[in-house]
Structure 1
């Protein structure tokens, strides 16, 4: 991407910068140590300012305002931006007679390139980049939301108005749920902010298959005909929860790092977050626990004398297992109680077995683990880290006890005589 920043206007104070090079239509300016006054002004006006030493400015003769179209930390970086301008932009400026039109064209071109680059990076994170890019363009065209509103995912569905279904697309973004339909010449579109949602539920009526009902204080909306209703319902619930947590951030709620940077929220992350929330609630684990692996497997259950199929969840400090049949078998093993995690010889009755030994001289046998080698290596890494932390804590604790014992031997103790 040739432009790391959108065009910004600069005040006349920026003319204090010494010029490193001046070229037709665009000026390349350099700000060394002599520009400390301007740097101080930038910092005062914008506490988050990150002043780069090299910038390319679009400057119109007779105007006191310049537009920053590129910046860099080195001359080489700015020269690359300039070369791109020469080959892709400057040759088309000769058709303009008005210099103000030149400035407007350059600003619009740079903003368009940045927007296209953002769309490309967002689409690259999805399973079908081309399809997502097309949906992103339609989302921006139909709803006109701020450019900072990141589209997370979209679904084809029907929105019901009474007994009439409207086929269209449901767009789920960071702060809004949006629906658009154009059928038989009639356009239907609306936007629901997550902060206004009061209730989310799955309903079923005689007129439609199972649907998702979204309620606000003003009205209710019902959506159906999803290819995967479970996934859609989970993503909507997660995005609504994220919006609420971000809203409460002003009240001192500590957010995850990803939530502090909404542009990093993707559909994949939302689905992973849903699994994490489910695991923490199922095993009542601390909120700070991070979910690492989720793998189908079977565990040996002595009371039933057979292996029980289910799912293994591994976190920072725990190994958890839940049977496929809810309530049949549940296992919670703190890593602090684990002595070793070892692979056993694989046989036809016991494929890919793993033995987890604990301090109570017992062991748990897991089989049918996919990617067993990577899973065991990851669990052993966390186990060794935890054991090292425990040994360091014990050594410090023993050291403090020795100091207290020595001090008690050095301090004489006297007792008053009787009658004093």
Structure 2
């Protein structure tokens, strides 16, 4: 697919194999994609997985024969047949005036490819783009990697290790947590591990400071370790598991993203569905604390002081505001 031309540093060609070359274009394939035949390709595939870079395996570069440091990525693809279509289009439709200045030739190609990218509404995430755009790229890779439904929503992912049965050493990789699945992927020196488990099959979760244990319905133990802080992924896993249990118990309960919440601005850079789940947890805690109806949603809370007329004093605490209620809670002994 065509992308908005992105300038790159002179590439490390040991990471890529040239499939086709011409005066201004290079068609390349990433080493480590498909069958890992050589040790070098296995190492590259392992590094891509651990660094969570894993770029599309095929790409087309625009380069200048007169400028060694001039390289632009203009097309990428996950399938060879798709990138070959773009390559053939370039060979057929890009007619360069050989008498023109070098800069004019390159500008012509970039403007042509940019218009193609705009027509297809496809853009590449720059390093200067925010975390949310980068996460969208990871979501697309997640769907493709585990062959899930395109509507499956990734919540977050974490670098960790997994101890599979029959392996002496833990396997480094990424733990992916989506609305319906717990997934893990590891690629080390040509050996690939994929794990997909539905939340409805999870019956117990436990954790320590750096590890998480998951027990499934089949009494299978899934042990993940090497977390920097296991409490955060464990809390998220507990939330997602509880949501699926509620869906099984009640036919009227179903997880849907809060569209109203997504329209509100947040001071902190946080992923949309993570923000949604945090808001659900806070609303549930508020409903339990004040015994509010199950449909009540918390709009926010703030530190406040309540004036108590009976002793003419100020009591410090926290005020909670929901759709239909204003509540106050204080840990002060006087209340």
Higher alpha-carbon Rg: 1
Higher relative contact order (CA 8 A, sep 6+): 2
